[in-house]
Each structure stands twice: as C-alpha cells, then as structure tokens.
C-alpha cells in the first residue's frame, strides 16, 4: 500500500555487563513487528529521523518552500534514515491546516520514496487528528506521528480511544508521548494496550524519562523511538530502536554516529559520539524549541531563523552561545 517499508530495527540487548572501568554491550539481532492489518506488513523505524523545522520567509508570512526542499535534499545527502515534517519542532500549531498539509506534501514529493516520511498529524481534537491523518495518507505519508491532544487533559481511557480512532484511517500511527507539550502523559499500561491495536506502529518517547520507556518495553514489544537528543544513548542502550532528533536539523552526521554505532553494537563509539554532542545539544534548548535550532540553521545558511508568534527571536546571548558551539564543533 505504501511506496516502501518504513525502516525499523528493534534493537534488543542480550547482555548488559557493566563495571566501573567500562561497559560492554552485546546488541541483539533486529526484530520486526508484524501487523494483521492490510495497511502494512512490517514497519521499520531504526536509526536517525530528523524532526524537521519549518522554514518561513523572513517576515514570517509564508512557508519558504524553496528552503524546505533544499533542507530535505541535504538531509538525504547526509544519510538520514527518515524525515518528520510538522511535528512540534515544525511549529505545527502555528501554521494553518493548509500550510501544514502543503509542507507534508512538499517533503513527500521531494523525498520521492528515498527515505520514509512520518507526517505530524496531531490535533487538539480527535476529529481533527483523524482528518489530518486521512489527508496525510492521501498525500503518501508512510506513517503519522500523533501527540496526545494538548490542553484538554484527557483521561487514559480517552487517550486510548483517541489513538484507536486515528489508526482506523488506515495509516500506521506512531504514538507521540510528550507531556511537556501535551500536558498529559500516556501511562505505560495504556501504551501496552494500544500496542495490541493493528496499525499502532511505534512510540516516540519524549517524556525525558528512560524509566518510562523501559517500563513500556517491559510490557510490550512496541518499538520505542527516543524523542530527546540528550537521552539518545541511554535510551538506545535500554532498547530504543532509534532517535527522532532535533540536533540532526543542524548536523545529521553527529546523531547518525550514535545510532549507527549502536546498531553495530559498538557501545564505546556510541558513547564517544553522544558525549561529543552534549554541549551542542544543550545550546539548542536554552530557549523554547525550535528557536535556537532555527538560529543555528540561519548561521549555517540553511534557512531563516524566523519563528511565528508567540515564539520570539532568540536573544543576543543565545546567538553568541550558538556561534561558540558551532565554531567549537567545527561547523563554522
């Protein structure tokens, strides 16, 4: 039904034998999760997916589609495993539905089947999320990323029904658990129940809690994708299959260095790559996401740093910090 299979490799850890002088991890073979639904037979989400920023014209009045296309081409040239337009980093609440769908369409058309595209289709209401998922399916998205509806503070039962209805559209769904954005978190048991629903494809865990992710993995075999760059290594060491990254907007190779090393079972290389990213990652979160990331991309000549209100341009102090980090990491 889709142009190709999404790439997911569920990394299992056969042994975790750690000591204070070092740690050795034997990474198990890949698993795939099969579904009985007709929408797809196997879904694969391993590696590094970029949660794309949405470039605007300098005055913020329109999406800069030319810059978006160039960004997508560059990401693919850099070896990215997949792309995610219109997630939280894409300022999806600050664009119209028409702009949102046009961004998704532009990314899908530019990608042209070379890597999977997971479209952000979360909404305040279930009807809205269903509508956006249906539209994304028609546009050719490989899956959709659906956050728990922000602001409404739904119960666990309500969240279960929300995702069950969205997946009925026939497009694989990645659950997006981000309580910092949504104001509510899905409990591990709720996620485990949703994992039984055909078409629920994976979980993006942006709870900032490795414990939460591990609890989910203990309850079900739903693939977990790390949703926080600062937790890429520890979450993958516990079984996450990859990372949905913000840092990879700026420098994909630095995140790919972690995920590729983990896929090979080279924990020492992954640790070195992860630690090398720490200060750069921290600099991208000194102000609300994606403000610093867009400024870093502007400094690198990739797109305007413009964000839409109520987000505001970054401070001079933030710009100075970003310049220091980009230079320290030999990106400028």
CA distances from 52 to 157, 222, 252, 276 (A): 31, 24, 11, 22
* Active-site residue flag, 204: yes
Angle of helix 156-167 versus helix 126-139 axis, rounded to 10: 30
Structure tokens that stand for 277 in this block: 């990213």
Cα–Cα distance measured from residue 110 to residue 81, given in angstroms and rounded to the nearest whole number: 15
170-184: b or e for each residue (b if 16 or more CB lie within 10 Å)?
ebbbbbbbbbebbeb
Residue 297 annotated as binding site: no
Please give the Cα distance from 43 to 82 (Å, whole number): 13
Reduce the DSSP state of residue 321 to 3 states and report it.
Answer: helix
Give the residue among 250, 255, 241 at the shortest CA–CA distance from 296. Answer: 250
Of 204, 260, 294, 295, which one is the catalytic site residue? Answer: 204
Cis omega (within 30 of 0) for bond into 71: no
| Residue 89 annotated as part of some ligand binding site | yes
| 176 catalytic per annotation | yes
- The active-site residue, picked from 105, 176, 294, 295, is 176
Question: Strands (DSSP E) along 35-123, which ranges?
Answer: 42-43, 47-51, 82-84, 118-120
Q: Two tokens at 181?
A: 């954005």
**Residue 124 to residues 13, 27, 128, 252: CA-CA distances in angstroms?**
37, 39, 7, 31
* Class of residue 57 by CB neighbours under 10 A (exposed 0-12, middle 13-18, buried 19+): middle
Contact 107, 90 (CB under 8 A): no
CB count within 10 Å of CB 301 equals 7
Name the DSSP class of 140. T
End-to-end C-alpha distance for the chain, whole angstroms = 43
Going by the annotation, the residues of the binding site for pyruvate are 89, 244
Q: Among all residues, which ones are annotated catalytic?
A: 176, 204
Cite the annotated binding site by residue number: 89, 244
């Amino acid at each position: 039904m889709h142009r190709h299979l999404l790439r997911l490799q569920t990394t299992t850890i056969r042994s975790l034998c750690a000591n204070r002088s070092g740690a050795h991890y034997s990474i198990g073979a890949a698993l795939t999760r099969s579904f009985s639904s007709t929408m797809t037979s196997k879904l694969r989400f391993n590696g590094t997916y970029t949660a794309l920023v949405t470039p605007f014209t300098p005055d913020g009045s329109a999406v800069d589609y030319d810059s978006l296309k160039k960004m997508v081409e560059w990401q693919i040239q850099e070896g990215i495993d997949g792309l995610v337009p219109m997630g939280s980093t894409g300022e999806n609440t600050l664009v119209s539905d028409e702009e949102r769908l046009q961004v998704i369409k532009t990314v899908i058309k530019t990608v042209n089947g070379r890597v999977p595209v997971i479209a952000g289709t979360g909404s305040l209401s279930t009807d809205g999320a269903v509508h956006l998922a249906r539209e994304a399916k028609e546009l050719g998205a490989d899956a959709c990323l659906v956050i728990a509806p922000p602001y409404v503070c739904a119960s666990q039962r309500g969240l279960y029904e929300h995702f069950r209805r969205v997946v009925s559209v026939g497009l694989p769904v990645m659950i997006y658990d981000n309580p910092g954005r949504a104001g509510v978190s899905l409990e591990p048991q709720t996620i485990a129940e949703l994992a039984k629903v055909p078409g629920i494809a994976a979980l993006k865990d942006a709870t900032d809690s490795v414990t939460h992710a591990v609890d989910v993995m203990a309850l079900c075999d739903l693939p977990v994708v790390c949703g926080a760059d600062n937790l890429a290594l520890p979450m993958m060491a516990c079984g996450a299959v990859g990372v949905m990254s913000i840092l990879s907007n700026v420098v994909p190779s630095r995140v790919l260095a972690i995920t590729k090393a983990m896929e090979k079972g080279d924990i020492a290389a992954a640790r070195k790559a992860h630690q090398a990213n720490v200060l750069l990652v921290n600099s991208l979160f000194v102000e609300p996401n994606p403000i610093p990331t867009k400024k870093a991309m502007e400094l690198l000549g990739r797109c305007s740093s413009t964000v839409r209100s109520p987000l505001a341009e970054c401070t001079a102090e933030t710009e100075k910090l970003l310049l220091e980090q980009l230079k320290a990491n030999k990106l400028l």
